[in-house]
Amino acid sequence: MSKFNPPFVTIPEVRHIRYSGEGAFRRTKDCVFHVRLEQPDSRILRLLQREFPGIPVVGGEAPEGAGYAVSLGASRCGQPADVTGIAVPSSGIEEGYELAVRPERIEVRAVRAAGLFYGLQTLRQLLDTAAGDSLPCADIHDWPDTARRGMHFDFRQTHSRLEKLEEAIAQFARFKINTLLIEYEDKFPFRCDPVLRHPKHAFTEEQLARLLEAAREHYIEVMPLQQTFGHLEYVLRHEAYAPLRETPESTGELCPCKPGSYELLTKMLDEIIAAHPDSPYVHLGCDEVYSLCECETCRERFGGSREAAFIHFVNRMIEYTAARGKQPVIWHDMLDKCPEDLLQTLDPRVAVMIWIYNYRNIEAEVSALTAKFRRLGIDVMGAPAVRCFDWAEHQNYPVAVNRLDNLKQWRDTAAKLDIDCVIGTNWTAAFSLGTPYGIFETTWYVNGYHADVTWNRSGGGEDYIDRFMAVFHGLRPAAVAAKVGRYTNEDYYFIIRHFTEEAVRHRDIAELIAVMHDFEVATDRSRAIHKYAYRWRLYPGDGAERRSLLNNYVRNRSGLQRVRPRMTAVLRRFQPDDMADHYVLSRFYLHDYLNETLYKELGLDETLLPQSHDS
Ligand SMILES: [Zn+2]
């Protein structure tokens, strides 16, 4: 069913592998790493200790121009060669590497430290997925297609504990991701006004420093996102800031004409910029500014033009950000229908991130938008989604069929248009006054796909699910097929729940998805209650109708009550307890409400359930 072709299985798929057929490298007890680094980079040494524990590391510095190299072999086999003649083109030199497997040793070589870092990530996956302790002799040459390959932390709703976020960053690096978009909202430790910090879950400055250090440690550049126009519900909800709203009814949008708007946002930007000294970018948000040019001052000043009001304020933010040495970025949607003459007034120092999550014609839409912006000298970035609304409001886990299609269309579009920054957006809610989507850890399968297709635009093929099962869970395709039969890339969320025992790696993710799946089965059933309630109204007092209503109530309510403690327990492994509990309550709220109202009215209550339900 797929071209899954061991012995070497990786995510992302490496670009070139040639098996030489000249024997195999066998790992022995006396293996050591010989390291040669042109410039000292302790991150490489720590990577070796973390990902290959127990293997001693010897060597160190190398002369100028020797590059970065590591060999793995018996201690007598000596130092790796320098990078002379490395088969990586100049376009891939920043992160490309060469990996050679020979009977006596494995050698990884790169011109830059980041390339060596990625080569070692590949080596880790080869050892993880190899059968036994030997690797067949081969030559690998590998480098990325996309310069900036990004994932996304959205902290607006629930998020994982800090140590889980650090683990996620390490996993991003295994997938060769080098950029991380972070939207903090009220989780950022704002100093300008403590009311802007979430009372319980804002990071402390120390925690934020830990998070950013984890990114640096893994060669990941953080792109902080600070909304500066709309989606400011977490600010404008406070009485002190309500006067800055465009209209009293707009909960999320600032009025650009109120003098306090610019002052507040630039103060917040100052703090964001100061906390991210290494980041070349600041994302200014600016999507979905619904209330625009509605107040009297704006209407007069901008002649009733929403676009003119938008560009005026955005230009001030671009100026402010660019003056501080950062590349400003905004979402594209507010400029979507902007007439050309007005668009020409947009400060071209901004980069526009095009986010399109659905529809069949991504290539056509993105091509038209890209041409429009590039004509004005404006740089373009891409944003598919690894998780967004789709047709499943709760998003307990992503709708794989939509997400993979979206990512695949973006892969081809980015290739055609040469878009060199593509971020897999991963939303935790529709907006900040919403309820949480499924938790971050349910998105690894889709994240891996995004990593696969941004590193290597030939990736993302039909064998992806097999490679993911092998690399991420340690499961071979034959074992998967033996249990679940036929499957395709789109089936991950339906099959992984069967491997909560067998998964060698990330068993906790399999358990998490299994619980979410069981919850969905239980809620799908309980939605049918209205049919039985309706029939009871149609045939009041009928014995058979009563029995049918009762049977359904017992089955559905028991199913829900059984999954509730499991859901709480599994979520608390990833998230702070009260965030996990908030998630559970959000899922059960309506069911509990119906239990207290409609069901009670129909004479149904939990005393009718078998006793075992609360075990
Ligand atoms: Zn206004």
pLDDT of residue 613: 45
pLDDT of residue 1: 38
CA of 302 to the centre of ligand 1 (A): 10
CA of 299 to the centre of ligand 1 (A): 7
CA of 233 to the centre of ligand 1 (A): 16
Residue 1: half-sphere exposure toward Cβ, Cα within 13 Å: 13
Tokens at 597, concatenated: 């109202």
CA of 301 to the centre of ligand 1 (A): 9
> 401 with 362: CB under 8 angstroms?
no
CA of 300 to the centre of ligand 1 (A): 9
- Classify residue 324 by its DSSP letter: T
CA of 481 to the centre of ligand 1 (A): 60
CA of 356 to the centre of ligand 1 (A): 28
Radius of gyration in angstroms for the set of CA atoms belonging to the chain, rounded to a whole number: 27
CA of 145 to the centre of ligand 1 (A): 44
CA of 245 to the centre of ligand 1 (A): 8
CA of 343 to the centre of ligand 1 (A): 20
pLDDT of residue 4: 63
CA of 316 to the centre of ligand 1 (A): 15
Tokens at 392, concatenated: 């499943």
CA of 320 to the centre of ligand 1 (A): 20
Helix, strand or coil, per DSSP, at residue 40: coil
CA of 503 to the centre of ligand 1 (A): 56
Amino acid letter for position 216: R
CA of 284 to the centre of ligand 1 (A): 19
CA of 432 to the centre of ligand 1 (A): 22
CA of 59 to the centre of ligand 1 (A): 64
Q: What residue ranges define each of the domains in the chain, with the CATH number in brackets?
A: 16-142 (3.30.379.10), 148-460 (3.20.20.80), 482-613 (no CATH)
CA of 290 to the centre of ligand 1 (A): 12
CA of 255 to the centre of ligand 1 (A): 4
CA of 248 to the centre of ligand 1 (A): 11
CA of 486 to the centre of ligand 1 (A): 57
Q: What are the backbone angles phi and psi of residue 381, rounded to the nearest 5°?
A: -125, 160
CA of 185 to the centre of ligand 1 (A): 23
CA of 236 to the centre of ligand 1 (A): 14
C-alpha distances (whole Å) from 245 to each of 23, 151, 249, 313 are: 70, 31, 8, 14
> 266 with 277: CB under 8 angstroms?
no
Task: Give me the average pLDDT of each 10-residue run along the chain (615 residues).
Answer: 69 95 90 95 96 93 90 86 88 96 96 98 94 90 98 95 98 98 98 96 98 98 98 96 96 95 98 97 96 96 96 98 98 94 97 93 96 97 95 88 97 98 95 89 98 97 96 95 97 97 97 96 77 91 94 90 97 97 95 93 91 53
CA of 199 to the centre of ligand 1 (A): 30
pLDDT of residue 83: 87
pLDDT of residue 138: 95
Q: What is the full DSSP assignment across 404-431?
A: HHHHHHHHHHHHHHT--EEE-EE-SSSS
> Which long-range contacts does 47-55 make (Cβ < 8 Å, 24+ apart)?
47/117, 47/120, 48/120, 50/170, 51/120, 51/121, 51/124, 52/124, 55/31
pLDDT of residue 130: 86
578 alpha carbon, distance to own chain's centre = 22
CA of 244 to the centre of ligand 1 (A): 9
Amino acid letter for position 85: G
421 forms beta bridges with 148
CA of 292 to the centre of ligand 1 (A): 7
CA of 253 to the centre of ligand 1 (A): 9
The neighbour count for residue 278, using CB atoms within 10 Å, is 9
CA of 303 to the centre of ligand 1 (A): 12
pLDDT of residue 81: 84
CA of 103 to the centre of ligand 1 (A): 71
CA of 237 to the centre of ligand 1 (A): 17
CA of 73 to the centre of ligand 1 (A): 68
Which of 108, 262, 265 minimizes the C-alpha distance to 196? 265
The neighbour count for residue 163, using CB atoms within 10 Å, is 10
Which of 254, 234, 223 minimizes the C-alpha distance to 193? 234
| C-alpha to C-alpha distance for 447 and 153, rounded to whole angstroms | 12
CA of 256 to the centre of ligand 1 (A): 6
pLDDT of residue 433: 83
Q: Where are the alpha helices (DSSP H) in 244-390?
A: 259-275, 296-301, 306-323, 340-343, 362-375
CA of 261 to the centre of ligand 1 (A): 10
What is the CA angle 503-166-41, rounded to 5? 110
- Whether the link from the prior residue into 12 is cis, omega within 30° of 0, is yes
Which of 122, 127, 128, 221 minimizes the C-alpha distance to 169? 221
CA of 291 to the centre of ligand 1 (A): 9
CA of 226 to the centre of ligand 1 (A): 20
User: pTM above the 0.85 mark?
Assistant: yes
pLDDT of residue 77: 76
Which of 4, 52, 22 minimizes the C-alpha distance to 139? 22
